[in-house]
Chain A
Amino acid sequence: MISEAFQPKILAFCCHYCAYASADLMGSMRIQYPPNVRIIRTPCTGRLEVNFFLKALEDGADGVLVAGCMEGGCHFINGNLCAKRRVNHVREMLAEIGLEKERLRMVNVSAAMARPLADLIIDMVETVRRLGPNPLRTSTPASESETHS
């Protein structure tokens, strides 16, 4: 049974032009949202690469939320649609890897959707809480990885 006390750590990549602005608005409107979420501002969700999501989960994030503009409303025309494809691709890879694909999710909000964003965050936290801690957080890595190029 999963302990009630489990507080998932969730990374939220928020697009500067919508979700990040909405997160700001949440603050101004004094809307509460769970402190489990660490927001990372990104110039556009289209900037997010496949390896960003994998690395976050590999390094122990319990969940990754990608929050982009409404479809059709991307500041850079189609960055959020690129992100959607990448997120779906990584979700398939996670299934191959053996990790629940529900740990990665993309949502779409506008800059004025503070309340809906808070609800989406709450829902993500609840989903990940049900899944339990990322098993990679507790398992031991082989050792520090090295990168040369």
Chain B
Amino acid sequence: MIVAQRKTVPELMEILQGHPRLLVLGCGTCVTVCLAGGEREVSIIASAIRMASRLRGQPIQVEELTIERQCDNVFLEQAAEAIERNSAVLSLGCGAGVQALAERYAQKPVYAGLDTAFLGILEERGIWTEKCSSCGACVLHDFGGVCPITRCAKHLLNGPCGGSRPDRCEVRPDRECAWQLIYQRLKDIGQLDRIKKIAPPKDWSTSLDGGCRTIIREDHRI
């Protein structure tokens, strides 16, 4: 899922200056699961904005709403009236949700209330970790299902580096060494020979190259 976290109240107050009526719009999907932008967080952030704006002498009237999914036009319609009656929207969706809203409501200022951080998983209560950098050409099969691009601090495809320790990365002592994990996992599944293969330079044209990436599925077009 997409993992995000809230911006601080002073950051929000700076962003929201000059908007007397604000809709705080939550999203019921990824950011609800990562406890950053669901119905409960909407209530918390709306309350914080109301309090902070009153204390700063410029009270903001805040409406709260959470829809099922912000990155989908079908669900965005459910917010149309609420968006209409407010002077701006603070989206608690991920970056995709914020932009979907802004595209759909061209005349309305739409702001991001969260910092969208990464694609990851819930490790244990209150701890999320990044697992995938969406590079566009997945190589997990060669690395025992452990992503070296995301989880190795040096993004090494031919690792480990010289500083690897059995239990930790030399760059971030609080992280496991991805290459130790790759080695262990390949060993466990009897595919250690894969580690001998020299990985060629990765083709990054599927990643951060030439603007946003698009997928067109002719079989699904009408």
Our pick among A50, A51, A146 for the contact of B63 (Cβ within 8 Å) is A146
Instruction: Looking at the assembled complex, report how far the CB atom of B2 sits from the nearest CB atom of chain A, in whole angstroms.
Output: 22
Does the CB pair A98–B40 fall under 8 Å?
A: no
Kindly name the residue among A50, A55, A149 whose own CB sees the greatest number of chain B CB atoms within 10 A.
A149
Residues of A within 8 A of B60 (CB): 142
Q: How many inter-chain contacts with C-beta < 8 Å in the A-B complex?
A: 80
Residues of B within 8 A of A (CB): 8-10, 20-21, 39-40, 43-44, 46-48, 50-57, 59-66, 82
Residues of A within 8 A of B55 (CB): 97-99, 135-136, 139
Our pick among B48, B56, B62, B82 for the contact of A96 (Cβ within 8 Å) is B48
Our pick among B8, B46, B50, B82 for the contact of A141 (Cβ within 8 Å) is B50
Residues of B within 8 A of A102 (CB): none
Does the CB pair B9–A140 fall under 8 Å?
A: no
We find that the number of chain A residues with CB closer than 8 angstroms to chain B is: 24
Complex Cα distance A146/B86, Å?
12
Complex Cα distance A57/B51, Å?
9
Complex Cα distance A58/B44, Å?
11
Complex Cα distance A139/B50, Å?
11
A122 sits at the interface (CB 8 A): no
- Which B residue sits closest to A85, measured CB to CB? B126
A25 sits at the interface (CB 8 A): no
Our pick among A98, A142, A143, A147 for the contact of B56 (Cβ within 8 Å) is A98
Q: Can you pick out 25 interface pairs between chain A and chain B where the beta carbons lie within 8 Å of each other?
A: A49-B40, A51-B47, A54-B44, A58-B47, A58-B51, A98-B52, A98-B55, A98-B56, A135-B54, A136-B51, A136-B54, A139-B55, A139-B57, A141-B59, A141-B61, A142-B20, A142-B53, A142-B54, A145-B50, A145-B64, A146-B63, A146-B64, A147-B64, A148-B63, A148-B82
Does the CB pair B54–A140 fall under 8 Å?
A: yes
A120 sits at the interface (CB 8 A): no
Residues of A within 8 A of B59 (CB): 139-142
A107 sits at the interface (CB 8 A): no
Instruction: With A51-B40, A135-B55, A141-B54 as known contacts, state yes or no: A97 contacts B48, CB within 8 Å.
Output: yes
Chain A 117-149 near chain B by CB (<8 Å), digits 1 or 0: 000000000000000000110011111011111
Instruction: Looking at the assembled complex, report how far the CB atom of A82 sits from the nearest CB atom of chain B, in whole angstroms.
Output: 10
Does the CB pair B20–A148 fall under 8 Å?
A: no
- Which B residue sits closest to A89, measured CB to CB? B44
Our pick among A93, A98, A142 for the contact of B50 (Cβ within 8 Å) is A142
- Which A residue sits closest to B10, measured CB to CB? A96
Residues of B within 8 A of A142 (CB): 20-21, 50, 53-54, 59-62
Our pick among B9, B44, B57, B63 for the contact of A145 (Cβ within 8 Å) is B63
Instruction: With A58-B47, A149-B39 as known contacts, state yes or no: A143 contacts B61, CB within 8 Å.
Output: yes
Residues of B within 8 A of A57 (CB): 51
Does the CB pair B48–A93 fall under 8 Å?
A: yes
Kindly name the residue among B10, B43, B51, B57 whose own CB sees the greatest number of chain A CB atoms within 10 A.
B51
- Which B residue sits closest to A139, measured CB to CB? B54
Does the CB pair A148–B47 fall under 8 Å?
A: no
Instruction: With A142-B61, A148-B63, A148-B65 as known contacts, state yes or no: A97 contacts B51, CB within 8 Å.
Output: yes
